């Protein structure tokens, strides 16, 4: 009962009633009612034909081309050994000429050719497909007897990251091992001297050895602290600092700490008296300023002061640290912010440096959505400029 078309039946009854009222012909009205109701019931029993399921393999070349063209991953279609379709991403990687070309000529790589020749398809990681350092994952899948799809996935960036991780662990281990070996060496020498001839070691020699042990242990401590700092900054890299601070006040505070330790004539500060609100992490910006001043004092001239300035510039505040020192050769400039990179490793280590100072600075600047520029001239000196975006108080702006 529930499935009957009650709405239609009601309309038929009303229509028939109207005809009977105008004609008073019961036979005609009855016949019309019968035809209406039968037509309603028959239509219900005869559902509209279900749409035909799309037949397999009916996607024509044009449709396939349209479908794969906008995909960001390179996709190709090979038919009887020739490339018939290649989307934009594939043409960018292998060249625009590949469509219509023999697939083996198009990929020009022995491993990829072996994969194309294999009957059942498969996938392989292939080096040097689009450049000497490139790494691609190539997947070949037969669609039918004649056609085969080829998918390329770029793995170069992943490989670079994994290589950078391996390099970092290797460098960090090396940096940690050096002071540790030194500590173990000196302590063992002192122990052996006591055991060998039963006579205690010369107090002066023992004292010198202990000084070395203390220095190396401090280096180890600095290294571990810098590694922890770096990983903390990296972990929070995507979170904008929650607090607003005054860059001018922070710089004044850091410089006063440095001058109280090294003397007033070692660092000169030039500040713009206007407030400089930035969204920043006090501890990190403190560390950034200290690292730059520390470098300027370490690698700059011992007789010339370091100049620090903070001022307003277009849409940012600018912190600069300038030293008159030996400067940095241009070939080193692009690498200075790499972890453990030093222009003179022996000298940096002797000065207790870890080679992580500028890497930490770079990550702090990135977290604060700022910019860092290094300008240096051999024999003249170095200027490092940090630009941090101004903090605009949204409430004050709206008022």
Q: Binders of ligand ATP among 127-146, rule CB under 6 A?
A: none
- x/- letters, 42..71, toward ligand ATP (CB under 6 A): ------------------------------
Examine residue 358 and tell whether it contacts ligand ATP (CB under 6 A): yes
Check residue 336 for interaction with ligand ATP (CB under 6 A): yes
DSSP letters of 37-99? Answer: HHHHHHHHHSPPPPPPPPPTT---HHHHHHHHTT-SS-EEEEETTEEEEE-HHHHHHH-GGGT
Under the criterion CB under 6 A, does residue 295 sit at the interface with ligand ATP?
yes
d(CA 85, CA 150): 10
Q: Is 348 in the site for ligand ATP (CB under 6 A)?
A: yes
336 binds, among ligand ATP, Mg ion, none (CB under 5 to 8 A by kind): ligand ATP
Any contact of residue 297 with ligand ATP (CB under 6 A)?
A: no
Look-up of token digits 């019931």: 41
Which tokens in the block code for residue 322? Answer: 């300038």
Q: Shortest distance, CB of residue 332 to ligand ATP, whole angstroms?
A: 7
Measured CA to CA, the distance from residue 263 to residue 265 in angstroms comes to 6
Residue number with CB closer to ligand ATP (305 or 353): 353
Closest separation in Å from C-beta 339 to Mg ion: 12
Residue count, binding to Mg ion (CB under 5 A): 2
Between 148 and 382, whose beta carbon lies closer to ligand ATP?
A: 382
CB of 223 to ligand ATP, least distance (A): 8
Residue 229 near ligand ATP by CB under 6 A: no
Q: Which helix (H) or strand (E) element contains residue 147? A: strand 147-154
Kindly state the smallest distance separating residue 282's Cβ from ligand ATP, in Å.
Answer: 20
Among 136, 209, 299, 317, binds ligand ATP (CB under 6 A): 299
Q: Which does 241 bind (CB under 5 to 8 A by kind): ligand ATP, Mg ion, none?
A: none
Binding partner at 356 among ligand ATP, Mg ion, none, C-beta below 5 to 8 Å by kind: ligand ATP
Q: Which of 74, 280, 305, 325 binds ligand ATP (CB under 6 A)?
A: 325
Rounded to whole angstroms, the Cα distance separating 88 from 90 reads 5
Structure tokens at 295: 């470098």
Which of Mg ion, ligand ATP, none does residue 382 bind (CB under 5 to 8 Å by kind)?
ligand ATP
Burial degree of 27 (CB within 10 A; 0-12, 13-18, 19+): exposed
Q: In what order do the strands lie in the sheet with 75-79?
A: 82-86, 75-79, 147-154, 135-142, 122-127
Phi-psi region of 322 (alpha: psi -120 to 50; beta: other; left: phi over 0): beta
Radius of gyration for the alpha carbons in the chain, expressed in angstroms and rounded: 39
Identified binder of Mg ion from the candidate list 251, 284, 295, 376, rule CB under 5 A: 295
Residue 219 or 248: which CB sits closer to ligand ATP?
A: 219
Cα 37 to Cα 7, 21, 47, distances in angstroms: 11, 19, 17
Please state the closest distance from residue 247 (CB atom) to ligand ATP, in A: 21
**Residue 342 found at the interface with ligand ATP (CB under 6 A):** yes
What distance lies between CA 378 and its chain's CA centroid?
A: 33
Among 74, 241, 280, 357, binds Mg ion (CB under 5 A): 357
Q: Which is nearer to ligand ATP, 171 or 343 (CB)?
A: 343
Which position has the token pair 């920043």? 280
Nearer to ligand ATP, 179 or 353 (CB): 353
By CB under 6 A, the count of residues binding ligand ATP is 23
- The residue among 249, 55, 216 whose CA lies nearest residue 257 is 249
Closest by CA position to 176, among listed 246, 236, 226, 238: 226
Q: How far apart are CA 172 and CA 134, in angstroms?
A: 27
| Identity of the residue, 249 or 304, whose beta carbon is nearer to ligand ATP in the bound complex | 304
> Which residues sit at the interface with Mg ion, rule CB under 5 A?
295, 357
Q: Which residues bind ligand ATP (CB under 6 A)?
A: 226, 291, 295-296, 299-300, 323, 325, 328, 336, 341-344, 348, 353-359, 382
């Amino acid at each position: 009962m529930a499935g009957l078309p009650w709405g239609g039946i009601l309309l038929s009854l009303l229509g028939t009633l109207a005809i009977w009222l105008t004609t008073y012909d019961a036979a005609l009205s009855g016949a019309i009612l019968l035809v209406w109701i039968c037509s309603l019931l028959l239509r219900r029993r005869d559902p509209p034909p279900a749409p035909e399921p799309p037949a397999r393999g009916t996607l024509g070349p044009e449709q396939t081309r349209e479908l794969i063209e906008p995909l960001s991953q390179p996709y190709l279609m090979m038919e009887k050994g020739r490339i018939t379709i290649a989307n934009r991403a594939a043409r960018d990687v292998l060249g625009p000429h590949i469509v219509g070309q023999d697939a083996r000529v198009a990929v020009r790589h022995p491993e990829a050719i072996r994969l194309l020749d294999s009957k059942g398809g498969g996938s392989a990681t292939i080096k040097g497909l689009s450049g000497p350092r490139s790494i691609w994952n190539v997947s070949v899948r037969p669609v039918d007897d004649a056609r085969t799809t080829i998918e390329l996935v770029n793995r170069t960036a992943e490989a670079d990251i994994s290589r950078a991780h391996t390099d970092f662990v290797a460098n960090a281990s090396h940096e940690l091992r050096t002071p540790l070996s030194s500590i173990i060496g000196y302590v063992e020498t002192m122990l052996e001297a006591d055991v060998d001839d039963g006579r205690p070691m010369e107090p002066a020699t023992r004292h010198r050895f202990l000084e070395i042990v203390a220095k190396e242990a401090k280096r180890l401590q600095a290294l571990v602290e810098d590694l922890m700092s770096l990983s903390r900054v990296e972990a929070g890299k995507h979170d904008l600092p929650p607090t607003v601070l005054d860059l001018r006040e922070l710089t004044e505070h850091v410089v006063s700490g440095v001058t109280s330790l090294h003397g007033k004539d070692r660092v000169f500060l030039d500040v713009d008296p206007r407030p400089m609100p930035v969204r920043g992490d006090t501890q990190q910006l403190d560390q950034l300023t200290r690292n730059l001043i520390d470098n300027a004092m370490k690698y700059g001239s011992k007789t010339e002061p370091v100049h620090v300035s903070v001022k307003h510039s277009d849409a940012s505040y600018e912190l600069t640290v300038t030293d008159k020192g030996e400067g940095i050769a241009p070939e080193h400039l692009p690498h200075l912010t790499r972890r453990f990179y030093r222009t003179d490793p022996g000298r940096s280590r002797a000065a207790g440096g870890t080679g992580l100072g500028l890497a930490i600075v770079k990550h702090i600047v990135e977290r604060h959505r700022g910019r860092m520029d290094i300008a240096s001239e051999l024999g003249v000196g170095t200027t490092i400029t940090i630009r941090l975006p101004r903090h605009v108080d949204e409430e004050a702006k709206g008022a």
